[in-house]
């Protein structure tokens, strides 16, 4: 293929990718033109469903005064929709091959700042909204990074379905765990809808879910921080009654005598309930008492 052909195809592509609903064939064409083979190790699955993009855009309610952060911009498909509506888009992408595509696809937008780097190593800028189809493999650290020190009003994020289920799980279910309790301490989480894995190309191994996160915008209390530490031990024995992992924590982790540990336990409620059944507030109640006893 000669140079002229490529140039022609590219300019045609960038117009089409915005107006046409056939995002799948355009995505494949773009990958081919730039000779890019998607990397599983970077969770590279690119959005090809116009309906999913519309839902994400509607949920984000973006206005021209908004600064929007996008994590893992990929081929810039969602980025273009964001840039049409926002005052400014800050898009982070780690893969230098995709940076080339992004510079090309987004060349007509002067309101997009591209940042080449690893989202887990970058200090997030202060923005109004975070809107992203996330790299699924690092959902957990990204989510903790976002909600522990929130620098945005709300986020609209696509996760793998089972990760989203864990974020909003009810006590007693198999999805309920430390992530659920942490999310409820830091944020309010709404699972908006599930979507097929075929909204992405190449499709990830499982279906996905769109989630809206409203951070609580307050720093955690000492009790809450202590609870996060404690939960690591408690959920490693999620099916046991609270008494057993708690005693283990006091004796083995805090090096207390058995006698002192038993005295502490005598002040604690829910000892006969199974770890997996305690609500976030009940955990907090337990953490408060244990922490006070340890001081
Ligand atoms: N948001 C795009 C791409 C989703 S695929 C879309 O909807 O089409 C996930 C993207 O995240 C890929 O482009 C991948 O290269 C990028 N990515 C993976 N790990 C990353 C990291 N640590 N930091 C920044 N970007 C990352």
Domain residue spans in the chain? 6-215, 222-294
Q: Which atom from ligand 1 is nearest to the alpha carbon of 47?
A: 8
* Tens-digit pLDDT profile for residues 165-198: 999 999 999 999 999 999 999 999 999 999 999 9
pLDDT over threshold 80, residue 21: no
262 lines ligand 1 (CB under 6 A): no
Quote the pLDDT of residue 8: 47
Q: What is the CA(13)–ligand 1 centre distance, in A?
A: 21
| Ligand 1 center to 270 CA (angstroms) | 43
CATH superfamily for 222-294 is rRNA adenine dimethylase, C-terminal domain (1.10.8.100)
pLDDT tens-digit readout, 231-290? 999 999 999 999 999 999 999 999 999 999 999 999 999 999 999 999 999 999 999 999
Atom of ligand 1 nearest to the CA of 136: 9
What separation in angstroms does the CA of 195 have from each of 59, 76, 252, 286?
Answer: 15, 20, 44, 38
* pTM of this prediction exceeds 0.75: yes
CA of 145 to the centre of ligand 1 (A): 16
Residue 72 Cβ inside 6 Å of ligand 1? The answer reads yes
Lowest mean pLDDT among 9-18, 27-36, 149-158: 9-18
* Atom number, ligand 1, closest to the C-alpha of residue 95: 15
pLDDT by residue (tens digit) across 192-213?
999 999 999 999 999 999 999 9
pLDDT in the model for residue 168: 97
The highest-confidence range among 76-90, 138-152, 209-223, by mean pLDDT, is 76-90
Q: Best substitution site from 42, 114, 134 to test ligand 1's pocket, by max atoms within 8 Å of Cβ?
A: 42
Strands 187-195 and 208-215: antiparallel
**For the packed helices 222-235 and 178-186, what is the interaxial angle rounded to 10 degrees?**
170
- Going by pLDDT thresholds of 50, 70 and 90, the confidence category of residue 5 is very low
Average pLDDT over residues 98-115: 97
In percent, the amount of the chain with pLDDT more than 90 equals: 88
Banded model confidence at residue 148, pLDDT cuts 50, 70, 90: confident
CA of 87 to the centre of ligand 1 (A): 22
**Domain spanning 6-215: which CATH class is it, in words?**
alpha beta
Residue 2 is predicted with a pLDDT of 38
**Mean pLDDT calculated for residue range 73-101:** 98
Give the distance (Å) from ligand 1 centre to CA of residue 26.
Answer: 18
Q: Is 165 in the pocket of ligand 1 (CB under 6 A)?
A: no
More confident position, 2 or 35: 35
User: Ligand 1 centroid vs 70 CA: distance in angstroms?
Assistant: 9
Ligand 1 site, residue 139, Cβ cutoff 6 A: no
What's the mean pLDDT in 86-110?
98
| pLDDT for residue 14 is more than 80 | no
Q: Tell me what the pLDDT averaged over the chain comes to.
A: 92
Is ligand 1 within 6 A of the CB of residue 92?
Answer: yes
Over residues 114-140, the mean pLDDT reads 97
Ligand 1: centre distance to CA 114 (Å): 13
Residue 95 near ligand 1, beta carbon < 6 Å: yes
Q: Cβ(45) to ligand 1 under 6 A?
A: yes
Taking a C-beta distance cutoff of 8 angstroms, is the pair 291, 230 a contact?
Answer: no
Pocket test residue of 135, 144, 205 for ligand 1, highest count of atoms within 8 A of CB: 135
């Amino acid at each position: 293929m000669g140079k002229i052909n490529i140039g022609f195809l590219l300019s045609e592509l960038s117009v089409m990718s915005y107006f046409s609903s056939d995002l799948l064939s355009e995505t494949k064409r773009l990958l081919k033109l730039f000779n890019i083979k998607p990397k599983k190790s970077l969770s590279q699955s690119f959005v090809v469903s116009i309906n999913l993009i519309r839902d994400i855009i509607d949920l984000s309610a973006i206005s021209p005064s908004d600064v929007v952060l996008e994590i893992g911009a990929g081929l810039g498909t969602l980025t273009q929709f964001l840039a049409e509506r926002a005052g400014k888009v800050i898009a982070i992408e780690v893969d230098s091959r995709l940076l080339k595509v992004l510079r090309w696809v987004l060349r007509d937008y002067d309101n997009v700042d591209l940042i080449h780097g690893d989202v887990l190593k970058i200090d997030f800028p202060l923005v109004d909204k975070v809107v992203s189809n996330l790299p699924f493999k690092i959902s957990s650290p990204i989510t903790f990074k976002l909600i522990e020190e929130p620098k945005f009003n709300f986020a609209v994020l696509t996760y793998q379905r089972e990760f989203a289920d864990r974020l909003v799980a009810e006590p007693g279910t198999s999805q309920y765990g430390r992530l659920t309790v942490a999310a409820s301490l830091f944020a309010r989480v709404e699972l908006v809808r599930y979507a097929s894995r075929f909204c992405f190309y190449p499709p990830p191994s499982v279906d996905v879910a769109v989630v809206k996160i409203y951070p609580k915008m307050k720093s955690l209390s000492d009790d809450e921080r202590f609870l996060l530490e404690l939960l690591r031990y408690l959920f490693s024995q999620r099916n046991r009654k609270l008494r057993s992992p708690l005693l283990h924590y006091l004796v083995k982790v805090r090096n207390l005598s058995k006698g002192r540990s038993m005295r502490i336990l005598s002040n604690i409620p829910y000892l006969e309930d199974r770890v997996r059944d305690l609500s976030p507030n009940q955990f907090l109640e337990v953490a408060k008492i244990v922490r006070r006893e340890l001081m």
